[in-house]
C-alpha cells in the first residue's frame, strides 16, 4: 500500500471527541456572546458601567461587537464539525480573540472570565492538536 493510500485510510482516535467538544463550545460561547450583545443593545441598564465606561466602547458598540462576534463563533463551531481547515483556522482565531477580550474583564467578572479563558484554551488546544482527526472522521 502506498504512503498516499495509507494517509487516506488513517483512522481517527478517541481524541476526536476533543474537537467535537471544541465545536460544541464554540457554538455555546458564540450563543452566549450573541445573547450578551443583545442584552447590551436592548437593556443598557443591565451592565454596570464605571466612570471610565466599558473599555473604550459605549454599550451600543459593545453590544454590536458581541453580537457579531457571537454569530461568527457559532457559525465557526458548526463548520468545525465538518473538519474543514478554514473552520479550524477561524475557530482558533476567534477563541484567541475571545480569550484576550475576557482577560480585560477579569477585574469585573473574575470567575466568568477565568472559566471562559480556560474553555478557550481547551478549544484552541483541541483544534490545533486533534483537528486533522476530525477531518478523517468526516471522510469515514
The alpha carbon of 66 is separated from its chain's Cα centroid by a whole number of angstroms, namely 12
pLDDT band at 1 (very low <50, low <70, confident <90, very high): very low
Q: What is the mean pLDDT of residues 14-24?
A: 88
Q: Give tens-digit pLDDT for 27-77.
A: 999 999 899 889 888 876 666 656 655 555 567 787 898 899 999 999 999
> What's the pLDDT score for residue 66?
86
The domain limits of the chain are 17-139
pLDDT band at 122 (very low <50, low <70, confident <90, very high): very high
CA-angle at 117, arms to 88 and 32, nearest 5°: 75
Q: Give tens-digit pLDDT for 82-112.
A: 888 999 999 999 999 989 988 877 776 788 8
> What's the pLDDT score for residue 46?
67
> What's the pLDDT score for residue 133?
75
pTM of the model: 0.77
Give the separation between CA 22 and CA 100, rounded to whole angstroms: 18
> What's the pLDDT score for residue 94?
95
Give the separation between CA 100 and CA 94, rounded to whole angstroms: 10
CA nearest to 105, candidates 117, 119, 122: 117
Amino acid at each position: 500500500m502506498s504512503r498516499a493510500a495509507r494517509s487516506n485510510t488513517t483512522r481517527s482516535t478517541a481524541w476526536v471527541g476533543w474537537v467535537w467538544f471544541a465545536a460544541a463550545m464554540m457554538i455555546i460561547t458564540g450563543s452566549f456572546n450573541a445573547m450578551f450583545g443583545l442584552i447590551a443593545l436592548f437593556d443598557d441598564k443591565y451592565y454596570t458601567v464605571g466612570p471610565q465606561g466599558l473599555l473604550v466602547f459605549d454599550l451600543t458598540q459593545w453590544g454590536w461587537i458581541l453580537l457579531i462576534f457571537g454569530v461568527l463563533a457559532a457559525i465557526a463551531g458548526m463548520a468545525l464539525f465538518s473538519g474543514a481547515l478554514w473552520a479550524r483556522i477561524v475557530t482558533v482565531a476567534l477563541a484567541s480573540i475571545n480569550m484576550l477580550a475576557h482577560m480585560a474583564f477579569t477585574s469585573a467578572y473574575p470567575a466568568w472570565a477565568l472559566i471562559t479563558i480556560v474553555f478557550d484554551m481547551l478549544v484552541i488546544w483541541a483544534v490545533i492538536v486533534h483537528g486533522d482527526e476530525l477531518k478523517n472522521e468526516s471522510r469515514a
